Structure 1
Amino acid sequence: MVDVGHIIFQGWAPLLRTAIGTTITYIALVVLLRLAGPRTLAKWYAFDLIVTVALGSTFANSVLSGDISVAQSLVGFVILIGLQFIIAFAVAHWSPLRIIVNPQPTLLVHQGKLVRDAMRSQRVAEADVRAAVRQHGIDRLEDVGAVVLEADGTFSVIRQLGSEASALADIPELGGSNAANRSD
């Protein structure tokens, strides 16, 4: 027989554990995220998403599971944020890792023409490109010099390509290369 009362209420001790554990882990997570800096919750690269989801899962488990101690949750938070910090630091200072962790920008529109092979390989719909162009106040695709799908999934719209466009130095289709990703 199912004890509905036990399903709804198992006593004050589990509620107290949840209240104390939630408060401590919440405060710890806020402090750790502040210490880690804005990069931890900035634009979503793949490893940022993994860390964010893992932090949420760790937080939820610490709040709801009586089998996980607050100390275990705190260790999990510190390790996850520490790994994210180490990877972000390494990506910023060691170009081979940057190329592995962050995808290269992809040219989707060049001189007003859609680069359909690139759009297909990146799974970007023409409607998404047109929306990005409109968001930049341009009403004709033909008036766009370039649309670039950035490593974080956002679109950069460039009205006119200059002959020495240094901001496009890491886009192979425009003569750039991964060498532009190297730290000096």
Structure 2
Amino acid sequence: MEAYLDIIVRSSAVYIFMVVALRVFGKKQLSQLNTADVILILLISNAVQNAMVGSDSSLSGGLAAALVLFIINFIFKKLLFKYKKLSNLLQDKPEILIHNGKLEFDTLSRLGITSDELYEAIREHGIERYKDVKLAMLEIDGNISVISGDQNLRQTHHKRRIHKTLRNENL
């Protein structure tokens, strides 16, 4: 039983560390992944595995660590929803990247978003030029959402919504 308590404490500490690290290093790291970011995630997961389970490399030790992470994440999400001050402390606000066709250079620079990344997001939303963008935002989940000035276009970064909307229009 003491071994499982050790896993619970270690896994909790690693989870808290990762939440703080993601807050410090920014939300851009969550969804705008390049090759170096994927490598970093893989190395971090390998580095913290031993920190969570210690010398227990058994299946039950790994499952206990995973269960603790799921439980902590569930509780953490509930606390963020219930306590707005905690949510404001740990989560960034959405950031405006383009407003009415004008790039927000200070914001882009502060967030470390390159012009290539921004243009890629714009193209993914079917827009060729940034001047045609009514609003582009870096959302709290790290995605860039884009709204064009064209009233005929419906754009979203949630593919499920696109499919659902198309399905409803065909009915």
Q: Which category describes the TM-score, using the shorter chain as reference length?
A: 0.5 to 0.7
8 Å CA contact 1:55–1:77 kept in 2: the answer is no
1:56: Cα distance to partner? 9.1
Moved segments of 4+, more than 6 Å:
none
SS in structure 1 opposite 2:136? strand
What is the CA–CA distance in structure 1 between the aligned matches of 2:55 and 2:127, rounded to whole Å? 56
* Residue 106 (structure 2) aligned to one of 105, 114, 117: 117
Partner of 1:73: 62
Q: Which has the larger radius of gyration?
A: 1
Does 2:146 align with 1:157?
Answer: yes
Q: Unaligned stretches of 5+ in structure 1?
A: 1-43, 163-184
8 Å CA contact 1:146–1:161 kept in 2: the answer is no
What is the CA–CA distance in structure 1 between the aligned matches of 2:56 and 2:80, rounded to whole Å? 36
What is the CA–CA distance in structure 2 between the aligned matches of 1:67 and 1:139, rounded to whole Å? 53
**Bigger relative contact order, structure 1 or 2 (CA pairs below 8 A, ≥6 apart):** 2
* Residue 124 (structure 2) aligned to one of 115, 135, 157: 135
| Aligned AA (1:112) | G
1:58: Cα distance to partner? 3.8
* Residue 77 (structure 2) aligned to one of 79, 88, 95: 88
What is the CA–CA distance in structure 1 between the aligned matches of 2:120 and 2:144, rounded to whole Å? 10
Count of residue pairs the alignment pairs up: 111
What is the CA–CA distance in structure 2 between the aligned matches of 1:161 and 1:151, rounded to whole Å? 25
Task: Report the TM-score, using the length of structure 2 for normalisation.
Answer: 0.53
Q: CA RMSD in A?
A: 3.3
Partner of 1:107: 96
Q: Identify if the C-alpha distance between structure 1 residues 140 and 69 changes in structure 2 by more than 3 Å, giving closer, same or farther.
A: closer
Q: Unaligned stretches of 5+ in structure 2?
A: 1-29, 32-40, 152-171
Q: Percent identity?
A: 27
Does 2:141 align with 1:148?
Answer: no
Task: Report the TM-score, using the length of structure 1 for normalisation.
Answer: 0.50
SS in structure 2 opposite 1:87? helix
